[in-house]
Structure 1
Amino acid sequence: MLEKIILIGDSGHAKVIEDCILSQGSSVIAKLDDRYKERFHENHLIKGPFAIVEDLLTDGVKVVISIGSNVIRKRIVERLNIANEKYAIIVHRRAIVCNSANVGHGTVIMPGVIVNADASIGCHTIINSNSVVEHDCVVEDFTHISPGAILTGNVKVGRGSHVGAGSTIIPGIEIGSWTTVGAGSSVISNIESNVTAVGVPAKVIKREGF
């Protein structure tokens, strides 16, 4: 049965996710955003604040959080407090996901992505256009792998981290949690949690603290 999807967040990122949903033959029935104060209809879609999501979660309806910020996605998951299985897994029809790979609930895989053998991708993660997640990689919950980034074999990206567009991470590297790797970086050594690293090779330029 084709899924009906509620998008949480109505912005530019929602447009991209809607295209992924339509490509796999599912449909979007609602876009919810707290900038809307009451429920209304627009172009055959239901719109309104986050609070109405429970009213719409009937059989065959699932949710995706269509917000690019890792921190905000996590906060909304905690706020909504709905069952994990009510979150959809969205894979664009032009993505390639190996049968032995595992993809968590609430995750969106964009067009042109390749996810290879025995890779593990967590929940509420964005694997953006034309990125590559090679064999045996582990990408934890609430991460964002930006367009064109390449995770070579056996790379681990910690919870909440963001790998910038066009970055390359060599085999066996570990990226900590809530860390940012700048666009175009080349990561050849492990990077700790809660930092920003940029460059070729990537070096830590900022420590955020816990």
Structure 2
Amino acid sequence: MKKIVIIGAGGHSKVVQDIVEAMGEYRLMAILDDQYEVLKRKGNVYFGPILSYRSLFIHFECKVIIAIGRNDLRLKIVNELNLDVMDYGTVIHPTAIVGKNVSIGKGTVIMPNVVLNAGASVGNHVIVNTSSVIEHDTHLDDFIHIAPSATLTGAVKVGTGTLIGAGSTVIPSITIGEWCKVGAGSTVIKDIPNASTAVGSPARIIK
């Protein structure tokens, strides 16, 4: 059985822990978060600060998943750890539907009841949250968060670091730039440039 370390101990981490257990492919070795001052052991799982990670990785030969919802913090931690991308695991809930010719990157979490249809591609360190739909030929870059029940229809492109809010809909062939925020419940019918915030139905850029 493969071994895994989870970085982050908040609410999102709880869900990732459940998915890891449901997968049955990983043995959870440690949960690391800066709230811990020292490394402790509870049962067969270690708890400790992120800086303790390197020694654990060498000792246990673990995969890593960064279970933190904020895109910028996941990027920051990846840069600080400076690991090879192959050192990261990929976590996919058994209820997710993954179509043909779908690619999913390392460090990415696919939550329960997600649909990834044919030809979709998902980058590294992405969160595709509960019951989201990623339609055919849609491309997600790295460090994206697709919030629960969002729908990205066919051939959508989303840039690095972007957050798509809960319950949002993006119509076909739309491009959303890097480090954007799309408000919950929005309907995106036009392209959104980099570093924009868009809300409403139809979505309008407010920042």
Category of TM-score, reference length = shorter chain: over 0.9
| Seq. identity, % | 47
Shift of the alpha carbon at 1:60?
A: 5.2
Q: State the match for 1:11 in structure 2.
A: 10
Q: Is the 8 A contact 2:29 2:45 kept in 1?
A: yes
* Contiguous gaps of at least 5 residues in structure 1: none
Q: State the match for 2:105 in structure 1.
A: 104
**Residues in 2 aligned to 1:43 and 1:111: alpha-carbon distance in whole angstroms:** 27
Could you list the per-position Cα deviations for residues 112-151 of structure 1 after superposition, in whole angstroms to 9, with x for gaps in the alignment? Answer: 0000111110000000000000110000100000000000
TM-score (norm 1): 0.95
Q: State the match for 1:166 in structure 2.
A: 167
Q: How many equivalent residue pairs? A: 205
Within 5 Å, give how 1:81-160 maps onto structure 2.
81-160=82-161
Q: Is the 8 A contact 2:3 2:60 kept in 1?
A: no
Shift of the alpha carbon at 1:67?
A: 0.4
| Structure 1 residue matching 2:206: 3-state secondary structure | strand
Shift of the alpha carbon at 1:27?
A: 2.6
Shift of the alpha carbon at 1:56?
A: 1.6
**Residues in 2 aligned to 1:40 and 1:99: alpha-carbon distance in whole angstroms:** 43
| Structure 2 residue matching 1:106: 3-state secondary structure | coil
CA RMSD in angstroms comes to 1.1
| Structure 2 residue matching 1:190: 3-state secondary structure | coil
Shift of the alpha carbon at 1:59?
A: 5.9
Q: State the match for 2:34 in structure 1.
A: 34
| Structure 1 residue matching 2:6: 3-state secondary structure | strand
Shift of the alpha carbon at 1:42?
A: 2.5
Aligned: 1:197 with 2:187: no
